[in-house]
Chain A
């Protein structure tokens, strides 16, 4: 049989990409990419923190890995799937997009995340709160004091406010006082594929440049921003103010390496946006850019930037 010219580059018979991906980030953290060599035990344990995960049901589409508080098995299955790619997943609720009982949403989020020990180990929770709804201060108090969540995840476009809104400024200030991490979802879906009955624009992060100078200690991450924030100068200025980003919507060939070349100071965190996106997409992005990045930068994306967010303050 004629030897394929690709054999040196191609997976060998029996190659299983999923198994490879389980430990891909570990390999990358060690600064080496090889499709053929075995992974050491230590490498296989190298950490990845996924900062962008959702529980509950997306309002506009059935997702294969979606979860429900009424179906603990779905949560356990999702926790198992996520544990193949990361040691921890920062999770908030899809219900917060359209439903308005934020306290109920957060209670169900807790129910889901404590479905069993594996779920409790995997998910770190970020509560839902809307500064345009009266009483948000009590919702924030419960997120902080009752549920003891790591932070809050905001959806300004679905909740009808922009980042120069005074109520948003008040929420940021209150979150900073409670030392909560603030995540802002810039988009939930490509504007070209949104449900026609529920289209929302991407969130414009520009007002944060002003807001954050007043709150130097605030820990803030922008999620799903990489397709809409094309301005690398804006990214650099936000990074200088301590803003973190995630890679879920980072696109383009070797996109991770290319972005780090253009914005060296950017604080990128691993984010899969599962279950809306296939979780493998984020893991494979590390594989794709690995040969162009040193181990320090790969580790920063895989977990160190997220750890910094957790520890600051």
Chain B
């Protein structure tokens, strides 16, 4: 018999296609549909309106959206603070406001600045001090990356400088056959397997090369279906215990220190 399966989603958003006018209402819609699959917790980042290179004011607005969603649904929604390394001082302030002084439990970095650049270092150091993981969007696009869009190699370079940081390689780089070997040697890098097509074999390769403990389920809903992303785990040719780790136990373990520190129950 399987152990109780904890399903926590590493990767969700509050974008326009969700029903409702407010971030709280949109989060309710996300929770309603995710619950059809038994998903219990949703890590959520970036606001209702996205910006690839947000100025400090926009950053605060986007993080305020997430704070509203988390405050409305404290047992289901968990926020990651969205930062822009191009605005380092203001990003550090946001990290303090939303994580140290607020309920957020992680950091989200998107495409404004490649994460191998030295401007990331103070952000990573403060995130480590607060004990939170950093989710870095990564892709290796055959069609070419955006100028500030990180690859898994960028995350590996960051990990060399910060071997104790909890780093997550978002989207498993999209082109996962190339991405997984790039971060294989860095035990502090996990992969988020959400946000790309449910291409068969990705989870098997990630488990084979990284170990199931470094693989995290995430959906990228509502842009993606919970369905297609869950299938990467439920349909993979791996053991039940490995599926349990990927569906939630790994993320729970990763977030446990900061959640306990904030008095959040699991």
Interface residues of A (CB under 8 A from B): 2, 4-6, 9-11, 13-18, 21, 33, 35, 61-65, 189-196, 199, 249-255, 258, 274-281, 283-285, 287-288, 290-291
Interface residues of B in 177-203 (CB under 8 A from A): 177, 196-201
Let me know if B242 is at the binding interface, CB within 8 A. Answer: no
- Which residue of B has the minimal Cβ distance to A14? B1
- Which residue of B has the minimal Cβ distance to A33? B36
Q: What bracket does the count of chain B residues touching chain A fall in? A: 35 or more
- B179 vs chain A, min Cβ distance (A): 10
Interface residues of B (CB under 8 A from A): 1-5, 7, 17-18, 30, 33, 35-38, 40, 75-76, 139, 141-143, 174-175, 177, 196-201, 204, 221-228, 230-232, 234-237, 265
For this complex, 24 residue pairs linking A to B, each with C-beta atoms less than 8 Å apart, are A2-B265, A5-B75, A11-B5, A17-B230, A18-B234, A61-B201, A64-B201, A189-B197, A189-B199, A191-B143, A193-B174, A194-B142, A199-B143, A255-B225, A277-B200, A277-B228, A278-B200, A281-B225, A283-B227, A284-B225, A284-B227, A284-B231, A290-B36, A291-B36
In angstroms, Cα B15 to Cα A4, docked, is: 28
Closest 6 A/B residue pairs (Cβ): A278-B235, A284-B227, A253-B222, A281-B231, A280-B235, A280-B231
Whether B142 lies near A192 (C-beta < 8 A) is yes
- A99 vs chain B, min Cβ distance (A): 22
In angstroms, Cα B3 to Cα A13, docked, is: 6
B residues within 8 A CB of A255?
Answer: 225
In angstroms, Cα B195 to Cα A192, docked, is: 13
Whether A190 lies near B197 (C-beta < 8 A) is yes
Whether B200 lies near A253 (C-beta < 8 A) is no
In angstroms, Cα B196 to Cα A9, docked, is: 26
Q: Which of B4, B37, B221 contacts A284 (CB 8 A)?
A: B37
Whether B37 lies near A288 (C-beta < 8 A) is yes
- B146 vs chain A, min Cβ distance (A): 12
B residues within 8 A CB of A190?
Answer: 174, 196-197
- Which residue of A has the minimal Cβ distance to B266? A4
B residues within 8 A CB of A63?
Answer: 200-201
Whether A192 lies near B198 (C-beta < 8 A) is no
In angstroms, Cα B1 to Cα A11, docked, is: 13
In angstroms, Cα B142 to Cα A191, docked, is: 7
A residues within 8 A CB of B204?
Answer: 64
- B119 vs chain A, min Cβ distance (A): 26
* Max count, chain B CB within 10 A of own CB: residue among A64, A249, A275, A283: A64
B residues within 8 A CB of A64?
Answer: 200-201, 204, 236-237
- B184 vs chain A, min Cβ distance (A): 18
A15-B33 in contact given A10-B7, A277-B199, A278-B236 (Cβ < 8 Å): no
Whether A288 lies near B36 (C-beta < 8 A) is yes
B residues within 8 A CB of A276?
Answer: 199-200
* Max count, chain A CB within 10 A of own CB: residue among B3, B37, B265: B37
B residues within 8 A CB of A195?
Answer: 142
14 new A-B contacts, CB < 8 A, other than A281-B228, A281-B231, A284-B234, are: A13-B1, A15-B2, A15-B38, A21-B234, A64-B237, A189-B197, A190-B197, A199-B142, A249-B197, A251-B223, A255-B225, A277-B199, A281-B225, A291-B36
